[in-house]
Structures are given as structure tokens and as C-alpha cells.
Amino acid sequence: MKNILSLLPKILLGLALLILVVTNLAIAYIFFAPDTFPKPFYPIYAVPQGVAAASGDQQEEKSETIDLSHLPPGQGLMVDTGSKIVNLVDPTGRKYLRVGVVLEFAPTDPKFFEMSEEEKNAYITTFNQEMESRLPVINDILITLFASQTFEKVYTAEGKENLRQQIKELINQQLPEYHVIYVYFTEFVVQ
């Protein structure tokens, strides 16, 4: 019994050191791993314009502009490209993909989040008209990309995530004046 009690402080010290090391590794991973890696949360490195920062008794506004290309998903403008049915690369020609894609774009105006409701509605109407004229380009990118896939590539969760990244990159390359924040699949059937 005395041997166990004499080892107890060493065991507790070892446990405390282990917890400290694991916590530090987790913090390092969250802050220094690329944001494309899965994380429990994603730190925001810049305070958006218009948000007041308290310093002592005074509050001063940050005058830096918002980088709209790095908005988190859910804050952009949605464009539904509709449902597409495409034959996959298959020797028998019997495999196909039916997919619905919604693209989320960052607003092109850095002052979008400061606009009144009327101004936002007018901006969104104009944006939707611009997107309608670019929808043939977007659909061509999507159909060409989907038609080059195999069943094995798109069937897994990793394959779908890879496809999501390829869509985002291709559209951002073809339409440099717009920036896709995220790609949503509203329908995904592979047969």
C-alpha cells in the first residue's frame, strides 16, 4: 500500500504532463494546419469592418476592409444551377450521375454587409441577373467535370469532397470576377 501511495504523485505528474502536451498539440493543429483540414472550429484572423473593438473605456472601429473571398459558408449569395444527369466514364456506358448543385458566391461589393435591406435586395437582383448570363459557362464546367468522373471516384465521401473542391477551383478560374465560397450538393445519385 505504501508503494502505491509513493507512486501516486509521479502518476499524477505524468498525467498532467500528458494532458498539457495533448492540449498544446491540439491548439497548434487548430491554428497552424491548413483550413482545408477538418477542425473542431476555425479561427477568424481579422475583425470585420464595423465591429468595434474595446480598448479600455474607449471603443474604436477597425478601418480594415472585409476580405470577401474568405467568407465562411452560409454568408454568401446562392445560385442554384439545377439538376444534371450525366453519363460517367464506364466501359459499358450504363453508369450515370444525377446531381443538383448550388453554388455559394462571395458578394463582389465589399460594402455588401453594410448595405440597407433595399440596397441589398437591389444588389441581389443585379447579381442574379449577372449569374443568369453566366449560367451556360457554369453548366458547361459542371457537365464536363461530371462526365470525366468514374463511379469509383464519386461513390465515396472523399470522392464527393474532391469533386466539390474541383468545381470550386474550376469556376473560380473560369470566372475570376466572382469567387465561389462553397459548393452544395442538393441531390447526388450514382447508378
Give mean pLDDT, residues 27-47: 71
Range of the domain at 82: 68-190
- pLDDT per position as a tens digit, 1-14: 677 777 888 888 99
Angle (nearest 5°) at CA 32 between 30 and 33:
75
Cα–chain-centroid distance for residue 156? Answer: 19
Quote the pLDDT of residue 43.
Answer: 67
Q: Same structural domain for residues 104 and 22? A: no
pLDDT tier for residue 57 given thresholds of 50, 70 and 90 = very low
- pLDDT per position as a tens digit, 13-26: 999 999 999 888 88
CA distance 145 to 141: 6
Q: Same structural domain for residues 54 and 118? A: no
The CA distances from residue 29 to 7, 15, 19, 69, 86, in Å, are 33, 21, 15, 23, 39
Q: Same structural domain for residues 87 and 150? A: yes
Quote the pLDDT of residue 44.
Answer: 63
* Residue tagged 483550413 (cell numbers): 35
Q: Same structural domain for residues 96 and 181? A: yes
Q: Same structural domain for residues 82 and 151? A: yes
Please give the model's pTM, rounded to 2 decimal places. Answer: 0.63
Q: Same structural domain for residues 79 and 16? A: no
Q: Which of 61, 80, 104 is the last residue of a domain?
A: 61
Q: Same structural domain for residues 39 and 85? A: no
How many structural domains compose the chain? 2
CA distance 101 to 136: 14
Look up the CATH number of the domain holding residue 83.
3.30.479.30
- Closest by CA to 101, choosing from 83, 127, 128, is 83
For β-strands 58-61 and 180-190, DSSP reports them as unpaired
- pLDDT per position as a tens digit, 95-138: 888 999 999 998 988 888 888 889 999 999 999 999 999 999 99
CA distance 26 to 138: 39
The CA distances from residue 162 to 24, 94, 106, 108, 168, in Å, are 30, 23, 21, 26, 10
Q: Which residues contact 78 (CB under 8 A, 6 or more apart)?
A: 102, 103, 104, 105
Q: Same structural domain for residues 36 and 130? A: no
